[in-house]
Structure 1
């Protein structure tokens, strides 16, 4: 077992993470998050109109997008968890404030920029989800009040 580990780590040491591929995966992640953001906006509008048919359809569409996001996450994790060095590089690209990092190439800069944009988009989607939940709860309370009075 030790021999296998030694051979594997020797082969792996010369190979660096493909940051260009990681940047491509992050660009795809950004596109998926944009799509989820738009779908969330549509869900919010459908909830305001109390259009349950559209709401069901939009929720299904967003669920598909969330599946795409999960697949993308698995691909990214597989790349960055290949070695300790890859994990360390990934952590350095995705932590800290914008503008503080020193990047060795344009792909690293792109990954960091996309990571921060995606983070902001995720916070916006979370905020809108709370609005949707509030409206759904308020509508439910309204109907419960009408039924039980």
Structure 2
């Protein structure tokens, strides 16, 4: 099958959104279904189908979404309404739009990925330090029944 000439190909736009929290275990498939669900509830099935959104990647705390040119504002609105993906609470904050994936990856600022930077003991509980960015410190405690997350700043840690 011959490829379509450039004048007949769809004009795509790519949107990058930051995932909060960055260590969310949602896969690209879960994120795709969450975005489509929000899109259909906001705009209806026919408009959602005309946007032709799809998730390109979902790793490193950044989600890359593809859509048709002209629908970027609507897709950014949809991304802001996502609250759950794959059974985990998550928020998406769109921050960059581009016409190519290569151009979009240039705009993505390198964030610190979840790592084992150490641990911190607060009271009787021990928390694992996930991320330190500027003055913010993200801590998480893995429990048997639940995960507890704390969001502190460096001044708060000096008290402990």
Could you tell me the TM-score, scaled by structure 2's length? 0.27
Structure holding more strand per residue: 2
Larger RCO of the pair (alpha carbons < 8 Å, separation 6+):
1
Comparing both structures, which one devotes a greater share of its residues to helix? 1
TM-score after normalising by structure 1: 0.28
Between Structure 1 and Structure 2, whose CA radius of gyration is higher?
1
